[in-house]
Amino acid sequence: MKFNVDIYPPKAPKILEVLWYPPPFQWIKCNTDGSSNLQSSSCGGIFRNKDTDFLLCFAENTGQESAFFAELSGAMRAIELAKQYNWQSLWLESNSALVVDAFKNKSQVPWKLRNIWDNCILATRTMNFIISHVLGKEMNLQIC
């Protein structure tokens, strides 16, 4: 007799190993993330040095926005904080390929964020700056 029950268990999700690499000497690395649901979105990040010492972290509500908006807001806030603390060499790492791509193509940045975005891009031109996408064992660097 059939009860419309699938007897085969669902496939387990693919598990990817994510490795964190410390930044070079005199560099600061910031890992950022963002998320959203139907009610709100937020972003956050953590700054560490080559010895993995905790330097600073942040978490902020970004309103009722998309996940991309939140991810991008986190990246921009990290750049603003690096400038505020006068850190001359920043390695920004994100799990959002869209955020990394935004550094290549400004047209992806929402209009609502354009002014802050432009200021962040100017700030990165006065420092050593790298942005990378990390997912699993692969890592792509973009030196700006």
pTM for the predicted model, two decimal places: 0.84
Stretch 115-141: mean pLDDT: 84
Summarised one tens digit per residue, pLDDT across range 9-23 is: 667 677 767 778 999
Residues 78-99 have pLDDT tens digits of 999 999 999 999 999 999 999 9
Segment 100-116, tens digit of pLDDT? 999 999 999 999 999 99
CATH architecture of 32-143: 2-Layer Sandwich (3.30)
CB 11 within 8 Å of CB 18:
no
Q: Kind and range of the H or E element at 128?
A: strand 128-135
Position 71 scores a pLDDT of 97
Sign of the C-alpha dihedral computed for residues 18, 84, 102 and 140 taken in this order: negative
**The pLDDT of residue 25:** 96
What is the C-alpha separation between 144 and 125, in angstroms, rounded?
8
Which H helix or E strand runs over 80? helix 67-84
Question: How far, rounded to the nearest angstrom, does the alpha carbon of residue 27 sit from its chain's CA centroid?
Answer: 17
Least confident of 56-70, 71-85, 129-143: 129-143
The pairing of beta strand 41-48 with beta strand 54-63: antiparallel
